[in-house]
Amino acid sequence: MPRFIQLHLLTSYPPSNLNRDDLGRPKTAMMGGAERLRISSQSLKRAWRKSELFESAVKGHIGTRTQKMGVDVLKRLQEKGVAEKNAIGWAKKIADVFGKLKAVKSKKATDKEDTTAPTEPNKAFEIEQLAHFSPEEQAAIMDLADTIAERNSGPTADELKLLRAKHSAVDIALFGRMLASAPAYNMEAAVQVAHAITVHKVAVEDDYFTAVDDLNKSEEDTGAAHLGETEFAAGLYYIYICIDRNLLAENLNEDDALVNKTLAALVECAAKIAPTGKQNSFASRAYTSFLLAEKGDQQPRSLSVAFLKPVEAFKNGMLENAIKALVDTRDNMNTVYGNCADDDRIMKVAKAKGHTFDDIIKFILE
For the residues of 53-106, what is the DSSP string, one character each? HHHHHTTT---EEES-HHHHHHHHHHHTT--HHHHHHHHHHHHHTSSPBPP-PB
Q: How are beta strands 191-193 and 64-66 bridged, if at all? A: unpaired
Length of the chain counted residue by residue: 366
Region 69-89: what's the mean pLDDT?
Answer: 95
pLDDT in tens, 214-246: 877 776 777 777 677 788 889 999 999 999 999
The more confident residue out of 69 and 214 is: 69
Q: Across all residues in the chain, what is the average pLDDT?
A: 91
DSSP class of residue 148 equals H
Q: How far apart are CA 201 and CA 195, in angstroms?
A: 16
The model's pTM is 0.89
Q: How far apart are CA 277 and CA 43, in angstroms?
A: 9
CA atoms within 13 A on the CB side of 57: 22
CB count within 10 Å of CB 118 equals 15
Q: How far apart are CA 174 and CA 187, in angstroms?
A: 9
pLDDT at residue 119 is higher than 50: no
Q: Alpha helix locations (H) across 130-278? A: 135-151, 170-175, 245-251, 256-272
Top mean pLDDT of 114-123, 124-133, 140-149 is at 140-149
Q: How far apart are CA 73 and CA 91, in angstroms?
A: 6
Q: How far apart are CA 151 and CA 66, in angstroms?
A: 28
pLDDT at residue 109 is higher than 70: no
| Angle, vertex CA 239, rays to CA 187 and CA 344, nearest 5 | 90
Q: How far apart are CA 347 and CA 181, in angstroms?
A: 44
Q: How far apart are CA 191 and CA 263, in angstroms?
A: 10
Residue 201 bridge partners (DSSP): none
The domain limits of the chain are 4-60+190-205+233-365, 65-168
DSSP class of residue 218 equals S
pLDDT at residue 283 is higher than 70: yes
